[in-house]
């Protein structure tokens, strides 16, 4: 059984150890590493099955797949879609998608435009705070990839307006702060449909990061399930045992399969590493059983 538990039952591979990480980012969105560097790092960390899940783009998947073949990692084609539900933003990971499925390809094209327009507005707001030059710098840094707020955070850091990425969000980029721009993402149910029709499994990403009350989280899970969502990240980086028990309980209650994903972006945070994850609780159905 993944993660990190010796597979003693499997007579074919008695010494094999599997390690899964089904959520991470390359520089096709806001990760620091190229898809190749990311897959190589995963292999060095002992990951055997990796899903690349960049924000609103599948652009890194082809390169990741090539490298994965070379280093012997099983690569799952993934994406992390930004969505709206009840006017709030939630992230839905799609696993096992066909990246060329036309509605999904159209959606990512549209989302790139949405993100560019948002970036222009964020840059204007920063200018009003006497911080010029953000748009050009961010565009240069991201190249053909998806512009995210993380790129603005890096810019603010490089210009010494803040001392950490977190401070950039806390002072400028987070909701309610001067450079925040609210965005119309796809509705959650629509995003789940894109993923499902592209042959993938829709997974609610990092359920505790939205800071929802228990009531709201239950409403969200009901809506997600009704929309055709099949999984939830029971294991993400930096969860304590109580949090894992809580989310595992919700997975059971709502009949959702469990996923495991570090949400690795870069090496700056020593607490977040590819494959460095607690095992999925034994009573939870693993989401990879649903993958074709």
Which residues bind to ligand AMP, rule: CB under 6 A? 30, 55, 82, 148-150, 165-166, 169, 174, 265
Kindly give the interhelix angle for 149-158 and 102-128, rounded to the nearest 10 degrees. Answer: 30
Report, in Å, the least distance between residue 215 CB and Mn ion.
22
* Cβ nearer to ligand AMP, comparing 150 with 237: 150
* Cβ nearer to Mn ion, comparing 63 with 263: 263
Residues making contact with Mn ion (CB under 5 A)? 30, 80, 91, 205, 263
161 binds, among Mn ion, ligand AMP, none (CB under 5 to 8 A by kind): none
Which residue number places its CB atom closest to ligand AMP? Answer: 148
Report, in Å, the least distance between residue 82 CB and ligand AMP.
5
d(CA 23, CA 206): 10
Report, in Å, the least distance between residue 13 CB and ligand AMP.
35
**By the 8 A CB rule, do 32 and 266 touch?**
yes
169 binds, among ligand AMP, Mn ion, none (CB under 5 to 8 A by kind): ligand AMP
Which residue number places its CB atom closest to Mn ion? Answer: 91
* Cβ nearer to ligand AMP, comparing 169 with 250: 169
149 binds, among Mn ion, ligand AMP, none (CB under 5 to 8 A by kind): ligand AMP
Report, in Å, the least distance between residue 69 CB and ligand AMP.
28
* Cβ nearer to ligand AMP, comparing 41 with 55: 55
* Cβ nearer to ligand AMP, comparing 36 with 112: 112
Report, in Å, the least distance between residue 234 CB and ligand AMP.
19
């Amino acid at each position: 059984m993944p993660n990190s538990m010796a597979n003693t039952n499997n007579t074919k591979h008695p010494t094999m150890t599997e390690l899964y990480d089904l959520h991470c980012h390359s520089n096709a969105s806001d990760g620091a590493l190229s898809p190749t560097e990311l897959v190589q790092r995963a292999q060095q960390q002992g990951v055997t099955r990796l899903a690349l899940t960049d924000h609103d783009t599948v652009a890194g998947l082809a390169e990741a797949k090539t490298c994965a073949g070379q280093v012997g990692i099983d690569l799952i084609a993934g994406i992390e879609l930004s969505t709206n539900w009840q006017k709030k933003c939630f992230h839905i990971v799609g696993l096992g998608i066909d990246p060329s499925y036309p509605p999904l390809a159209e959606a990512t094209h549209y989302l790139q435009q949405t993100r560019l327009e948002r970036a222009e507005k964020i840059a204007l707001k920063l200018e009003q705070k006497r911080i010029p030059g953000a748009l050009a710098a961010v565009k240069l840094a991201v190249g053909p990839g998806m512009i995210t707020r993380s790129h603005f955070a890096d810019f603010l850091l490089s210009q010494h307006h803040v001392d950490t990425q977190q401070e950039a969000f806390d002072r400028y980029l987070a909701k309610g702060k001067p450079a925040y721009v609210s965005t119309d993402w796809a509705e959650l149910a629509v995003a789940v449909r894109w993923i499902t029709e592209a042959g993938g499994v829709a997974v609610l990403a990092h359920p505790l990061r939205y800071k929802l009350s228990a009531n709201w989280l239950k409403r969200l899970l009901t809506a997600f399930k009704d929309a055709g969502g099949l999984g939830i990240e029971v294991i993400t980086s930096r969860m304590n045992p109580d949090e894992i028990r809580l989310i595992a309980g919700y997975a059971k209650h709502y009949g959702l399969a469990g996923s495991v994903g570090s949400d690795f972006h870069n090496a700056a945070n020593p607490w977040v590493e590819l494959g460095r994850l607690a095992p999925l609780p034994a009573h939870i159905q693993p989401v990879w059983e649903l993958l074709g």
